[in-house]
Structure 1
Amino acid sequence: MANNLGNAVTKFTTRLDKVLETEPKTSFLNMNGDLVGELKGNGEVKIAKIAMDGLGDYDRAVGFPVGSVTLDWETVSLNYERAREFEIDVMEDEEHELLVSANLMAEFARAMVAPEVDAIRFAKLTEKAGTKKAETFTDEKAALDAVLLAEEALQDAGAQLSSCKLCLTSHMKTLLRKAQPWRIGQSEAPNGNFDTFDEMQLIVVPGNRFLTAIDLLDGKTTGEEAGGYKQAAAGVPINFMAIHPSAAAVLNKHEKLRYFSPDVNQDKEAHKWQYRLFHDVFVYENKAGLIYSSYKA
């Protein structure tokens, strides 16, 4: 029977897109595509920056005060171009292969791509954060006080807490639960679990994604064959990050899944899958105050 894996590549790509839209803990960050220019071959892209005058006094004789609006295109460079290739031997039967391929690429996105994307973003968000605190909490009161300070900082920067996200470790969430059990919403089960804190949505982040600095492994050199990432020597675990989504934006300008049939594959008699992702996260200079990062001292 003729193998139709090539016809399934679109389905697999769509599935990967959905995984990458939902699996990363930083999926709340986004960018208006209309404000992004075309990606150049050298990895540069232009992002629109808009500046405008504020309100003035209306004059009943003259009318509206004339203001100005300026649209500038800032050139930025995407720093992360990552890829991986997999092969599945042709001896597998067609039905089995379709299942293996679908599960392989979906699991790859969940287990490898999403964690790395998150780790890159959290590290860069911490680097660019308006407020950075190195601190270690000895009890739940200290943890609560730290989060309340973060709330004050974000509110002073003009953010409404109901629009903010509180990304935190599972241990940090436990400390908050112990400190303020009364914050549980009335509609929630009386088991001490809660999804918001002072109206901020809680996002529990696995510890291996929540680091101040990481090293990306190239997947080729000795000791780095497995690819992925690891905690950098200067990196430390993040306790929590309070952030308003408008402070930063993620940009995926090249996400592609390619398939080569055994007849086309010149290396092996196998089905070859190639995945490539070109991305970055950008923090707006005038909104860095909307990011508050607390990490271990």
Structure 2
Amino acid sequence: MPAQPVTPRAPGPLRRALAAVGVQNSSLIITLVALVILLSVLNDNFLRTENLLRIASATTIMGLRCLVQSLLIILGALDISVGSMAGLASVVSAMVLASTGSSVFGVLAAVCIGIACGLVNGMIVIFGRVNPVVATLAMLAAYKGVAQVISNGKSQGYTGSDDLFIFLAKGSIAGLPSLLWVFLVVAAGLHFLLKCTDIGRNVYAIGGNDTAARLAGININCYIIGVYALVGVVAAIAGVLISARTGSGQPTSGSEGLELQAVTGAALGGTMLKGGKDPSSQRCSRS
């Protein structure tokens, strides 16, 4: 009598959770939980909703940088100039707002500056054949110098009250601060891009093996330049948030040190520093 085929058992809830999170990230989550427990024991007010929302708002700007730095690391690149780009965008947004009286023009000007800086970074890496770390380290100093020159080394305040900037700094939606909503929207957009689109699949492929990706017909140059431009956009958003929170454009003080924080945050968040796709990650199914 022929043997009956053995039906594999469905994985349990714990195994499915580990597969979704990633085994390599489990230790990070355990450490985070332990840290939260320790802080809540040391301070009774730590787990209060108001305190947690303040912490979330305070870390939004750094969180945005970590998101795009993670995208670059997956691609197999890096950007050390994110902080100086945010500082330059902050100055430009405040100066345009002060001269035109329109926060919309200020935001658009900052985004345009961010795109331009990102394109410059990408083209230096591609056409100049410069290592991304070296290229963006040089541009860190360049963008910081431009911000200092156009601002005369001073914070650029804008007169009067602006509803959009006030809303970004102090507003809330459904009980959550506006700053946190900006972070959540950007995070959701990047998650969808990476997990549910061909663009995200190609980004993983380039980071995993750029030679194989090129042989598969992926235009690596376009992807690298495009991702650097996207980094510039998010850097500009962070710069606008800096201006909204401080009430002025900050050439350096509001963005100093964001570069190392972004890389550290991306690594601690579980991004594989060697780039490419984590085999344990799951993608959205496509019909």
TM-score range for the pair, normalised by the shorter chain length: under 0.3
Taking structure 1 as the reference length, the TM-score comes to: 0.25
Instruction: Say which structure is richer in strand.
Output: 1
- Larger relative contact order (Cα-Cα within 8 Å, sequence gap ≥ 6): 2
